[in-house]
Amino acid sequence: DTGVSQDPRHKITKRGQNVTFRCDPISEHNRLYWYRQTLGQGPEFLTYFQNEAQLEKSRLLSDRFSAERPKGSFSTLEIQRTEQGDSAMYLCASSSGLAGGQYFGPGTRLTVT
Amino acid sequence: GENVEQHPSTLSVQEGDSAVIKCTYSDSASNYFPWYKQELGKRPQLIIDIRSNVGEKKDQRIAVTLNKTAKHFSLHITETQPEDSAVYFCAASAFTGGGNKLTFGTGTQLKVEL
């Protein structure tokens, strides 16, 4: 499968714990995006990278969230001190070039208990 | 920032009929408008997109139209089939130096009935 992959697919954690998600984009794509989707809503933009540079962060992204793309390939999204409001589907997408369409991974469903 | 409104929230059609979903956007700088189909429990799937230099684009049974003056764009599905049943999201973005973050609409649940 040469599409976007994400790991894990599901994560259940207790409030206050830290979690980390991984995204592997389509290999030739230099842009990588993170979105969050809650039930019945469209995805909401969180942050994006061009190669290893993080170019923009949404105001939705509190200080507890951090994302990296150290070698311009895979990316990680970490949430520290999780809260119940963090429960959502975290989606990763990648694109090629400025005009390329964004292709989504299967997402990581986070449940904070 | 950009705001995208989408209507209707639910749409039920008979198999073989056409379906139309409409979106409006607020940021006149937006120049890229993709449509995604999301089946239950699956990832959003890019089905068609249009850029601001064209007014219409067609791909088999799917077409998208764009009216930049009125800031609205629409998805048209002809000869609907049961497998078209899904949630459809429109989105808008403005190309920047590094990428094109998408602002999504709230989705339309399309049900194609036999």
Q: For all residues of chain B together, what is the average pLDDT?
A: 94
pLDDT value at position B97?
57
User: What is the token pair recorded at B34?
Assistant: 């993709």
pLDDT value at position B52?
84
Percentage of chain A modeled with pLDDT above 90 = 84
Torsion over CA: A30, A55, A58, B108 (sign): negative
pLDDT value at position B54?
84
Select from B43, B101, B105 the Cβ nearest to the Cβ of A45.
B101
User: What is the token pair recorded at A24?
Assistant: 């592997």
Within 10 Å of residue A40's Cβ, how many Cβ atoms?
Answer: 10
Residues 6+ apart with CB under 8 A from A1: none
Instruction: List the one residue out of B1, B107, B93 whose CA is nearest residue B44.
Output: B107
Q: pLDDT tens for residues B9-54?
A: 999 999 999 999 999 999 999 999 999 999 999 999 999 999 888 8
Instruction: Tell whether omega for the bond before A106 is within 30 degrees of 0, i.e. cis.
Output: no
Residue B76 has pLDDT above 90, yes or no: yes
Strand partners, A53: A50
Distance CA B91, CA B106 (A): 9
Per-residue pLDDT, averaged over B78-95, amounts to 95
Contact B81, B15 (CB under 8 A): yes
Q: pLDDT tens for residues A41-77?
A: 999 999 999 999 998 899 888 899 999 999 889 999 9
Per-residue pLDDT, averaged over A8-19, amounts to 98
**Chain B closest-CA separation from residue A45 CA (Å):** 7
**Chain A closest-CA separation from residue B45 CA (Å):** 7
**Can you give the three-state secondary structure of A5-21, one letter per residue?**
EEECCEEEECCCCCEEE
Contact A46, A36 (CB under 8 A): yes
Single-letter amino acid, residue B23: C
Show the CA angle centred on residue B46, arms to residues B19 and B61, nearest 5°: 35
- Of all residues in chain A, the one with the smallest CA distance to B100 is A98
**Chain B closest-CA separation from residue A105 CA (Å):** 6
- Of all residues in chain B, the one with the smallest CA distance to A32 is B99
Torsion over CA: A57, A58, A62, A68 (sign): negative
Please, which pLDDT band fits residue A105 given cuts at 50, 70 and 90? very high
